[in-house]
Amino acid sequence: MSAAVTIVDYGVGNMFSLISSFDAVGGSASVSRDPDVVANAGKLILPGVGAFGDAADKLRATGLGDAVKYAAKRGAYLLGICLGMQLLFDRSFEFGEHAGLGLLHGDVIPIADEIPASYKIPHIGWNALSVIRPNAILSESLSGQYVYFVHSYHARVADDSLSATTEYGAPLTAAASCGSVFGCQFHPEKSGRVGMSIIDAYNRL
């Protein structure tokens, strides 16, 4: 029996689609803002939209950042989505320099530093995955499949945790993982059947 999913509610991001997507694969996801519940959860989702600095401040202020770190270090599954993925990294350079949770290694930098000036920012829309290193929720067969992105920053992964990239004038980080910690820059809950296969795989862990 796989563990129920706990979505970390630190006041950033819309939980509605995430809850619906786990319902749709026959799972069950609940939302919590209680650090004790999060610290003891078996399977977590860290959502997030907006600016890194604000989100990191909220994680600190609520005690939920430490709770997520504690859970991950004792081996709980953790999936960060979009800004939630970026928060798993060491630090971000979005409007200044901000510390992340340090569960994945690397820096979050503007995609403008990587891509030609003619490309629109944010990178919004459906783009194809190139799977570099498959993981438990992202199989090799997802290479070439389209998922939905909305972001202006991406993580430059410092070690061998890079799982997948997407091409937008340059290869951008689409997914990363290390042990039981996973991150998706795209929104699996908004990526149709392909995204739902990732939600389903995470639900089954």
Q: Is 80 helix (H, G, I), strand (E, B) or coil?
A: strand
Residue 34 vs 54, nearer CB to another protein: 54
Residue 123 vs 154, nearer CB to another protein: 123
Report in angstroms how near the CB of residue 158 gets to another protein at its nearest.
26
Report in angstroms how near the CB of residue 98 gets to another protein at its nearest.
16
Q: Which residues contact 83 (CB under 8 A, 6 or more apart)?
A: 12, 13, 47, 48, 49, 50, 52, 55, 151
Return d(Cα 24, Cα 8) in angstroms, integer.
19
Q: Pick the catalytic residue from 82, 98, 123, 151.
A: 82
Is 140 a known active-site residue?
Answer: no
Task: Using alpha carbons, select from 157, 160, 128, 133 the residue that is nearest to residue 143.
Answer: 128
Beta bridge partners of 126: 148
Residue 24 vs 158, nearer CB to another protein: 24
**Dihedral sign computed on CA atoms, order 5, 153, 140, 158:** negative
Report in angstroms how near the CB of residue 159 gets to another protein at its nearest.
28
Q: Which residues bind another protein (CB under 8 A)?
A: 14, 16-17, 20-21, 23-24, 49-51, 120-128, 146, 148, 150, 167-168, 187, 189-193, 195-196
Is 184 a known active-site residue?
Answer: no
Would you report the helix, strand and coil content of the chain in percent, each value rounded to 5? 30, 30, 40
Residue 43 vs 123, nearer CB to another protein: 123
Report in angstroms how near the CB of residue 204 gets to another protein at its nearest.
17
Positions marked active-site:
82, 187, 189
